């Protein structure tokens, strides 16, 4: 049987509870300006935010604009991000997108999805994150976490990330659109996990279409009293 979409009234309540639990969610990537955010998001593909932050801590202290990144050079950049997966390809893309920003945008990160997606190594998800976090656009960047949450809960059912993004754009109520991306990604990262969702901790479990719900683990056995 196909998953039933979540009713509109439940969608509003779904977001309301996530907002109540975390009124002002933030990205977990460390950045200092739109450019370092763009670089961090580009580096985060198939990598964890924690791993990216460790690699960019020293990098962003030294480099925070496209001209400085080009001056740093490919080999030095590779040394900074060597611990991140696919670092060779990512380093080439970061240098190339920095050169493109200098040549076409005066060294500034454009607040435009089409222009962002023309940069090397920047796809729709990266563009949406930058637009949302750096420029306050009401975009929703669908990664593996949001794709899973959308389909598992019935919030936004779709066969691919674009379909889920379009559905989220259609059903997300206006008061929650600015922060929807962060609420959903954090929910997927820490509660609605891929292998074993923590349903017993979930604030929206009763609204979710996922079955069966994961039960709470058994309580640890009590330590015997030293008086016995």
Domain locations in the chain as residue ranges: 8-24+140-201, 34-135
Q: What distance in Å separates the CA atoms of residue 102 and residue 111, rounded to the nearest whole number?
A: 15
199 is in an annotated binding site: yes
Fold match between domain 8-24+140-201 and domain 34-135: no
DSSP SS3 for 215: coil
Query: How would residue 228 be classed by pLDDT, with cut points 50, 70 and 90?
Result: low
What residues act catalytically?
A: 125, 143
Superfamily in which the 34-135 domain is placed by CATH: Hypothetical protein; domain 2 (1.10.340.30)
How many other C-beta atoms are found inside a 10 Å radius of the C-beta of residue 209? 15
Helix (H) or strand (E) holding 152: helix 144-153
Residue 120: pLDDT over 70: yes
Q: What is the pLDDT of residue 1?
A: 43
The per-residue pLDDT for range 20-71, each reduced to its tens digit, is: 999 999 999 999 999 999 999 999 998 999 999 999 999 999 999 999 999 9
Residue 189: pLDDT over 60: yes
Calculate mean pLDDT across residues 117-126. Answer: 96
202 is in an annotated binding site: yes
Per the omega criterion (within 30 degrees of 0), is the bond before 48 cis? no
Q: What is the pLDDT of residue 2?
A: 55
Query: Is domain 8-24+140-201 in CATH 1.10.1670.10, yes or no?
Result: yes
Residues 6+ apart with CB under 8 A from 217: none
Query: How would residue 112 be classed by pLDDT, with cut points 50, 70 and 90?
Result: very high
Residue 223: pLDDT over 90: no
DSSP SS3 for 46: coil
């Amino acid at each position: 049987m196909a998953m039933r979409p979540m009713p509109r009234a439940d969608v509003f309540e779904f977001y309301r509870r996530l907002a109540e639990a975390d009124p002002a969610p933030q990205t977990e990537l460390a950045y200092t300006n739109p450019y370092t955010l763009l670089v961090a998001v580009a580096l985060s593909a198939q990598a964890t935010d924690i791993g990216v932050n460790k690699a960019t801590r020293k990098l962003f202290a030294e480099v925070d604009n496209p001209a400085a990144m080009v001056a740093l050079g490919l080999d030095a950049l590779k040394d900074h991000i060597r611990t991140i997966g696919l670092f060779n390809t990512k380093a080439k893309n970061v240098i190339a997108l920095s050169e493109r920003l200098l040549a076409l945008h005066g060294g500034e990160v454009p607040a435009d999805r089409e222009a962002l997606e023309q940069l090397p190594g920047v796809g729709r998800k990266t563009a949406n994150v930058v637009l949302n976090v750096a420029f306050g656009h009401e975009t929703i960047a669908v990664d593996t976490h949001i794709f899973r949450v959308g389909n598992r809960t019935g919030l936004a059912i779709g066969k691919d990330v674009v379909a889920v993004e379009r559905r989220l754009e259609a059903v997300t109520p206006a008061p929650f659109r600015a922060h929807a991306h962060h609420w959903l990604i954090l929910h997927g990262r820490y509660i609605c996990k891929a292998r074993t969702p923590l349903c017993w901790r979930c604030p929206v479990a009763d609204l979710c279409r996922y079955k069966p719900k994961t039960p709470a683990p058994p309580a640890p056995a009590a330590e015997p009293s030293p008086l016995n």
